[in-house]
Structure 1
Amino acid sequence: MTYRLRSVGLDYIDTAPVRLAFVAEASAGPEAVFGALADVEGWSHWFRQVSEARATDDGTGRLIRLVGGGRFRETVMASDPGERYAYRVDEANVPGLRALLEEWRLVPWHSGTVVRYTFALDGTVVTRASARLFRPVLRRAFHDAVRCLDRRLTTV
């Protein structure tokens, strides 16, 4: 079953009931990291939890499938080269979600990049509590993804 989520804007990053933020460093520069984020089809090569990723709607949308069966139809909300990549989930097969926006901020740091990822959501009481409990798993997945992405970018 597919559930339609509430349409939210970029300001939701600051106002969502649940906001989880994580930071990691990459040795690749912001332009290279951004290029990988904007290359939707490439996500499954460096983000292990992503089993399939496709750009839709002439690049303004994304279709993401996760290992384990999660499916998300998304709208790209910000695509600022070298600075920010953000997307809103419009439809998901995950019950209990009401709104979800994810943002990747990139800041130059020495010869690399500081990557700040924010996961902003609303949902049922159970969904919000689960998201908070899920924080260590999401943190580990994010750090692993940045490590894999960085390895991919610096060996190409």
Structure 2
Amino acid sequence: MSQPPTMHPCERVGIDYVDTAPHRYANSVDLAITPDQLFEVFADADAWPRWAKVIRHVEWTSPLPPGVGSTRVVSMLGGLEGAEEFLLWEPGRRMGFRFNEASERSIRAFAERYDVEPTAHGCRLTWTLALDVTGPGKHFMPVSGLVSNLSFRWFLRNLRRYTDQRFATARSS
């Protein structure tokens, strides 16, 4: 069995960091599900790797159901792990979290916010990811950020396909 990665502290930013970070990526998708169904997906650790393909495993490290202060560890491609703490959990409206620790020393601060608005045919999700990095990676952020943002758009298309499949029987009954 492999050793768990060494974790490095990240700045414990507030949720407002999502609006002020040096590197921000915001993308939206219209989903044919209710806001409550979307939060069912968010709470399901097994769902995340199905649509956000960079995620390999999600483990809640605090009791469910999730809420403000809940924690989880997310394992991603390339061995990156993030120990997350939820700063927002408002079912049907919004959620957000930050990294308290990361296996990659260059991540100075990291946070995400998911804003959900009801629509006539389901809901609209706006996902904003915010971060700051240190070291040599900082110089590559303009290019790597563009590539990352394309990946985030792809993840949201995957989320639409995943939720269409997951809730297809609920819509047809």
- The one of 84, 104, 111 equivalent to 1:101 is 111
Q: CA-atom RMSD, angstroms?
A: 1.9
Q: Secondary structure at the match of 1:62?
A: strand
Q: Answer whether contact 2:18 2:113 (CA < 8 A) is retained.
A: yes
Q: Answer whether contact 1:46 1:149 (CA < 8 A) is retained.
A: no
Larger strand proportion of the pair:
1
Identify the residue that residue 143 of structure 1 maps to in structure 2. 157
Identity percentage of aligned residues: 28
Q: 1:24 to 1:77 in 2, by over 3 A?
A: same
Q: Distance in 2 between matches of 1:15 and 1:41?
A: 31
Q: Secondary structure at the match of 2:63?
A: helix
Identify the residue that residue 128 of structure 1 maps to in structure 2. 141
Identify the residue that residue 90 of structure 1 maps to in structure 2. 100
TM-score, structure 2 normalization: 0.80
Q: Max radius of gyration: which structure?
A: 2
Query: Where do 1:2-81 residues align within 5 Å?
Result: 2-59=7-64, 60-81=70-91
Residues 33-54 of structure 1: CA deviation (Å, up to 9, x unaligned): 0121123343234433222111
Q: 1:48 to 1:155 in 2, by over 3 A?
A: farther
Q: Secondary structure at the match of 2:47?
A: helix
Q: Secondary structure at the match of 1:8?
A: coil
Q: Answer whether contact 1:65 1:71 (CA < 8 A) is retained.
A: yes
Q: 1:21 to 1:74 in 2, by over 3 A?
A: same
Unaligned regions of 5+ residues in structure 2, if any? 1-5, 65-69
Structure 1 consecutive aligned stretches of length 4 or more whose deviation exceeds 6 Å? none
Q: Distance in 2 between matches of 1:118 and 1:110?
A: 23
Q: Distance in 2 between matches of 1:110 and 1:137?
A: 27
Structure 1 residue 108 displacement after superposition: 0.5
Q: 1:89 to 1:150 in 2, by over 3 A?
A: farther
